[in-house]
């Protein structure tokens, strides 16, 4: 068995209050780990800034590693856990910014950085899309990372699975009216890749958006390990066995049965 204990922190960042949000993330890490030994803590997309910052995102962007990741690295090291969070990353040149997610290990090292590929609506005005999918090698197994709308695209999760990811972690800001869509995507990605999907979604309201919460942990056969249906700040913990992903991949042969030569249309622009 390869048991992994995962905590989802379903939070409501204060819009534009990056230092206060960062301090609260550190408090969440401490609170969770003092109550439950945890291998991985996942925060939502844009956990340091909130969602509707517009042109101000440029002011909040920072390099990785940088101030925020250094602070959380100390927390991760202190409590011997991995931490995954959404952040505004400053690229090169500095005018380029990304809607990114960063994974920090218990040694306090940034072991993975992923820039969101599929930008939605006004996100395209602020951010540049990423162009590759990232799988991090951790002590408990290979972990793939997605952000927000990425989960709506089967190609994204499949790319991670083909790189060996047995656990796909999603940091999200999913809106309240779209609960059925949210659930369908997360369950489908778990089923079709025989993997675990852990989806951390924020709660709260901003100028024009209300956020759903409903953070999930879904198993490779659609098992519900965790469902945070209440629309409030909270954390919840689930323990999974990553050997289950390997077992069902061997049993159902979904990846081995692919026929890539028949998929030409997938790589054409629509």
What integer pLDDT is reported at residue 221 of this predicted model? 97
What is the per-residue burial (b if ≥16 Cβ within 10 Å, else e) of 37-49?
Answer: ebbbbbbbbbbbb
**In terms of residues, how long is the chain?**
270
How far, in Å, CA of 43 to CA of 82, rounded? 11
46 token code pair = 């844009």
How far, in Å, CA of 58 to CA of 2, rounded? 41
173: helix, strand or coil? coil
Per-residue pLDDT of the chain (270 residues; tens, 9 = 90+): 899 999 999 999 999 999 999 999 999 999 999 999 999 999 999 999 999 999 999 999 999 999 999 999 999 999 999 999 999 999 987 789 999 999 999 999 999 999 999 999 999 999 999 999 999 999 999 999 999 999 999 999 999 999 999 999 999 999 999 999 999 999 999 999 999 999 999 999 999 999 999 999 999 999 999 999 889 999 999 999 999 999 999 999 999 999 999 999 998 888
249 token code pair = 């991949």
Rounded to two decimals, the pTM is 0.97
Q: Are 80 and 104 in contact (CB under 8 A)?
A: no
Q: How far is CA 126 from CA 1, 52, 119, 135, 146, in A?
A: 43, 10, 10, 25, 18
What integer pLDDT is reported at residue 169 of this predicted model? 98
What integer pLDDT is reported at residue 103 of this predicted model? 98
From 175, 135, 142, select the one nearest 156 (Cα to Cα). 135
Question: Could you say which DSSP state residue 62 is in?
Answer: B
The class (CATH top level) of 3-267 is alpha beta
Mention every residue, 6+ apart, whose C-beta is less than 8 A from residue 44: 9, 10, 11, 13, 85, 86, 171, 172, 173, 200, 201, 202
27 token code pair = 């408090």
What integer pLDDT is reported at residue 219 of this predicted model? 98
Q: Are 84 and 41 in contact (CB under 8 A)?
A: yes
* H or E stretch at 35: helix 18-35
From 131, 133, 155, select the one nearest 146 (Cα to Cα). 133
How far, in Å, CA of 205 to CA of 225, rounded? 27
Question: Could you say which DSSP state residue 112 is in?
Answer: E
195 token code pair = 């993997």
């Amino acid at each position: 068995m390869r048991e992994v204990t995962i905590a989802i922190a379903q939070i409501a960042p204060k819009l534009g209050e990056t230092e206060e949000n960062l301090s609260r993330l550190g408090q969440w890490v401490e609170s969770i780990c003092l109550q439950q030994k945890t291998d991985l803590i996942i925060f939502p997309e844009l956990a340091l800034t909130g969602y509707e910052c517009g042109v101000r995102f440029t002011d909040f962007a920072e390099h990785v590693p940088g101030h925020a990741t250094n602070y959380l690295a100390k927390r991760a090291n202190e409590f011997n856990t991995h931490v995954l969070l959404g952040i505004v990353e400053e690229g090169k040149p500095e005018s380029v910014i990304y809607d990114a997610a960063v994974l920090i290990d218990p040694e306090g090292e940034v072991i993975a950085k992923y820039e969101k590929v599929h930008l939605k609506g006004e996100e395209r005005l602020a951010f540049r899309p990423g162009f590759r999918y990232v799988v991090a090698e951790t002590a408990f197994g290979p972990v793939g990372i997605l952000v927000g709308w990425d989960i709506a695209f089967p190609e994204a999760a499949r790319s991670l699975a083909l790189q060996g990811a047995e656990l796909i972690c999603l940091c999200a800001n999913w809106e309240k009216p779209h609960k059925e869509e949210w659930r369908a995507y997360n369950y489908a990605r778990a089923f079709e890749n025989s993997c675990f999907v852990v989806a951390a979604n924020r709660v709260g309201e901003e100028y024009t958006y209300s956020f759903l919460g409903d953070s999930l942990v879904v198993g490779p056969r659609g098992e519900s390990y965790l469902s945070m249906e209440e629309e409030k700040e909270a954390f919840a913990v689930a323990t999974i066995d990553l050997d289950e992903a390997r077992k069902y991949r061997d049993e159902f042969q979904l990846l081995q049965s692919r026929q890539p030569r028949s998929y030409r249309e997938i790589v054409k622009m629509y």
